[in-house]
Amino acid sequence: MNNFGNKLRYFRKKMGFTQKELAKKLNISASTIGMYEQGRREPDFKILNNICNVLSLNSVILLSNNKSSELNEAVKILINLLDSLSITVNKNTLRTKTKKQIIEIIRNNLDNTIEKIYANFAKNSL
């Protein structure tokens, strides 16, 4: 089974949809969903966009080749977000060194919580 198919199955089940229910929402056949999940077919852009909308996902998650690239993308987004913010704790603005330490802590823990990243990334569609 291909990576796209695995992810589609994972998120379909996570949202509580059967293949038939998802197919109905996408106005395609359940067998087409099955073929996507088995890697025997790939959706066109329109269907892919509809899948992402129905499952509340960003296409980066479904199309990336592995979890590592998704993790790196999430870390890049986080770094850009932290760099753009002026974060204050106890009335003190965090220094760049402190931000980098926070990022490193997060980076070290993200590998163990990739499913949570999937969910948050999908919900927030950064």
Average pLDDT over residues 4-20: 91
Answer for the pair 40, 15: CB distance below 8 angstroms, yes or no. Answer: no
- Last-in-domain residue among 16, 41, 61: 61
Using one digit for the tens of pLDDT, what is the confidence trace for 59-81? 766 776 655 555 566 666 666 66
Axis crossing angle, helix 45-54 with helix 19-26, rounded to the nearest 10: 120
Looking at the structure, do residues 16 and 55 belong to the same domain, yes or no?
A: yes
* Structural domain that includes position 89: 67-124
- Quickly state the pLDDT bin for 36 (edges 50, 70, 90): very high
Give the confidence band of 126 by pLDDT, cuts at 50, 70, 90: very low
Number of domains in the chain: 2
55 lies in the same domain as 24: yes
